[in-house]
Amino acid sequence: MKIAVATEDGKVISAHFGRSLFFAIYEIDDGKIVNKEMRRNTFTGHFRGGEHHGDDQHGHRKGDEHAHQTVADGLKDCKAVISHGMGRRAWEDLRSRGIEMIVTEETEVERGLNLYLAGELKDRPEKLH
């Protein structure tokens, strides 16, 4: 399985999922990290120029069921995505596509990943904006 963590530098979990420069993608086998990849964020609306063209602050048309399709496509090989913050629509849209979205108070990438693998990372949806 693969877990994505929104990050700027591979060490700190990004405060905003859509604006993170990278996603640290960890491949997990039998509870252990077997591979790590830094995937450049080229697929969220913030990096595709969408934030200035839509009906809301993120560039999504209201009621557009495809608003987060490119993000879902960019992370489709991941079981879960961990971020320190994100918009409610992204959280809901990606969850509806079968990706577990987690907003955490944790700020360190590897600590957050290890807590997730131990089943101890709490999702904090009240941090959604």
Give me the CATH number covering residue 35: 3.30.420.130
Share of the chain above pLDDT 90, in %: 57
Whether the CB-CB separation of 113 and 28 falls below 8 Å is answered with: no
Q: What span, in angstroms and rounded, lies between the C-alpha atoms of 13 and 92?
A: 20
Query: What pTM was computed for the model?
Result: 0.83
- Report pLDDT digits (tens) over 6-55: 999 999 999 988 889 999 999 999 989 999 999 998 877 665 555 433 44
Q: Which residues pair with 83 in a beta bridge?
A: 103
Domain that holds residue 48: 2-127
In the prediction, which pLDDT does 58 show? Answer: 44
SS3 assignment, position 24 = strand
- Work out how many domains the chain is built from and give that number: 1
In the prediction, which pLDDT does 63 show? Answer: 45
Q: What six digits make up the tokens of 34?
A: 């077997």
Q: What span, in angstroms and rounded, lies between the C-alpha atoms of 53 and 3?
A: 31
